[in-house]
Amino acid sequence: MFQLGKTIVSEDIIDKDFVCNLSACKGACCIDGDAGAPVELAETKILQDIYPKVKPFMRQAGIDAVEAQGTFITTEDGEFETPLINGADCAYVMFDNKGTALCAIEEAHNQGEIDWKKPVSCHLYPVRVKDYSEFSAVNYHKWEICDDACTLGKELQVPVYKFVKQALIRKFGEDWYMELEKIADGRK
């Protein structure tokens, strides 16, 4: 771990390799697990505002989940997440013609319907950020469903922090990312 501004960063985001391999995993991170994607407070308003434009890209089961639970849920810990369909798939999951799980929010963005890509937690994955009162912890989340992404990342020699560059800049800013690059370059 090392400190970078008001963040404590796991060395794994520099040392581990990762490139999503959707053809292998079929987007399993959006349909496996027992919780929705973390959503920041500011993103809750965005989800409410964009829902009418995202809805046409969603499956009926996802629409039903949002209509029943809301565009986001509040956990017992007071944190926010995307709602789930029957405790499994993210409500915003859609599938392409190959059966790969995709994000309806991101698809609406790609089609020019909205200017917001998706929750930053999804954009950052496999990096997870946990905010504390004095700092934010920036960690690599190892999940066996992403083993193919680790293999592809190693093959292509792409470290985690480079794979999620745009998301890290979105979350922490360009200056923070440039400092991270300097630290990574100093470790070679």
Q: How far apart are CA 53 and CA 84, in angstroms?
A: 19
99 has pLDDT over 90: no
pLDDT in tens, 32-55: 767 888 999 999 999 999 999 999
State whether 84 and 135 are in the same domain: no
Structure tokens at 143: 């999940």
Single-letter amino acid, residue 76: E
Number of domains in the chain: 2
State whether 31 and 115 are in the same domain: yes
Q: What is the mean pLDDT of residues 122-132?
A: 90
Q: In what side-by-side order are the strands of the sheet with 80-81?
A: 38-39, 80-81, 73-74
The closest of 105, 85, 84, 103 to 95, measured between CA atoms, is: 103
pLDDT over 90, % of the chain = 69
29 has pLDDT over 90: no
State whether 90 and 37 are in the same domain: yes
State whether 31 and 121 are in the same domain: yes
pLDDT of residue 23: 78
The residue out of 77, 97, 125 marking a domain boundary is 125
State whether 112 and 59 are in the same domain: yes
The residue out of 77, 107, 125 marking a domain boundary is 125
pLDDT of residue 188: 62
CA 148-38-19 angle, 5° bins:
20
State whether 134 and 49 are in the same domain: no
Q: How far apart are CA 110 and CA 125, in angstroms?
A: 19
Structure tokens at 1: 């771990």
Q: What is the mean pLDDT of residues 100-125?
A: 93
120 has pLDDT over 90: yes
31 vs 154, residue with greater confidence: 154
Q: How far apart are CA 38 and CA 118, in angstroms?
A: 11
The residue out of 105, 125, 145 marking a domain boundary is 125
Which residues have CB under 8 Å from 6's CB, separation 6+? 134, 135, 136
The closest of 138, 115, 153, 179 to 16, measured between CA atoms, is: 153
pLDDT of residue 7: 94
Boundaries of domain holding 170: 1-18+127-187
112: helix, coil or strand? coil
Quote the mean pLDDT of the chain: 91
